[in-house]
Amino acid sequence: MFKVKFSKAVVFVVMALFLASCATGPGMQIGNTVTLCCPGNYDSYTTFGVETVDMPIFLRDYMVSEFDTAFQERGLTRNDQRSDLIVTLSYKHVNLDPETQNIDPFVRMESINVELNYIATIDIAIRERAGGTAVWGGQISRIHSVSPGEYMHEGGARSAFLQTFQDLLQAYPSRMD
């Protein structure tokens, strides 16, 4: 029993330290990393569209809005109907405690009275609309601890997401340079 609890604590501490090392600035709690950079013909891309996959409803609008703002700062224009690029924002989470693996943090039953610790990740995949060739990718992530009775809300998260997207997209070739 002690060995299992110790192992869980070690995994949690290691993940916390890893994500803290990826933080984008003082006070930031969202890590980011580029997963694919620069095989595309960036001078020819002027427009982009955005789609989401498995994004919780409460996150969808402001996540897309903050990404949209950050990507337009790189010199592209959003056009969901006719665009050079398609940006896919895909959500997933991993519970850090094996005993809570089957509990969805967004569908909490009142009878489940446990704290959930999980890593929420958003993968950003950018591909050409014509042909589907991947041209850029990144990921943002954050460790969450949610106690029973807490609800998910955006609070101060909007500005943190914008800063994280801006930091991550520094690796995307800018049309403004």
Write down all domains in the chain, each with its CATH number in brackets. Answer: 2-171 (3.30.160)
For residue 20, what pLDDT band results from cuts at 50, 70 and 90? very low
Distance CA 10, CA 1 (A): 14
Residue 2: its pLDDT value, please?
Answer: 52
pLDDT, tens only, 72-82: 999 999 999 99
pLDDT, tens only, 43-60: 899 999 999 999 988 889
pLDDT, tens only, 112-134: 677 788 888 999 999 999 999 99
* CA neighbor of 88 nearest in space, from 107, 71, 104, 106: 71
Q: Are 138 and 32 in contact, with CB atoms under 8 Å apart? A: yes
